[in-house]
Amino acid sequence: MLAGFPPVLDQSTRIVILGSFPGAASLTAQQYYAHPRNQFWRLLSAVLNDPFAGLPYEQRLRQLLGHGIGLWDVIALCEREGSLDADIRQAQANDFAVLRHEAPALRRVCFNGKTSGKYAPYFADAGFETLVLPSSSPANAQLSFEEKLAQWKNIIL
């Protein structure tokens, strides 16, 4: 079984972006969205007008938290060959109760793609605002960067 990453949250996190599960490049680097063609950091740079893409990883995380935004994935453990969500097997969800404790200011849960977006009703039923975004993955090539960005701008409260 492959194991995901711990959440990146703090007491002032108002928004969390949930992905599905780290891809192979991210698991190797032990960093969220490490694949060089994944548009995640570029999208957030444009949305927040903050140059995340050129910063060291730990600084990216600190600055993201400074904007009140946290990161995590919906899946804690799974089996998968490669990086495609379609290849995920034996998925075990994260314990989302952690969010209420570690991020008491949390109001909005955004989902990076359709796989993680399947969890939106759970969070909506728990009283959170939810937003399913087009995946930042290089495998999601049907939308241009600009088309994705237009939807990602809705992250901001």
* Domain assignment of residue 112, given as a range: 2-155
Sheet of 129-133: strands edge to edge? 69-73, 15-19, 108-112, 129-133
- Which residue among 38, 49, 94, 140 is the active-site one? 38
Averaged pLDDT for residues 138-148: 88
Averaged pLDDT for residues 43-63: 93
* CATH of residue 12: 3.40.470.10
Which tens digit of pLDDT belongs to each residue from 93-132? 999 999 999 999 999 999 999 999 999 999 999 999 999 9
- Whether the predicted pLDDT of 157 surpasses 80: no
Do residues 76 and 19 make contact, with C-beta atoms less than 8 angstroms apart? Answer: no
- Whether the predicted pLDDT of 53 surpasses 80: no
112 catalytic per annotation: no
Which residue has 């793609």 as its token pair?
113
Separation of alpha carbons 25 and 117, rounded Å: 22
Counting the structural domains of the chain, the total is 1
pTM above threshold 0.75: yes
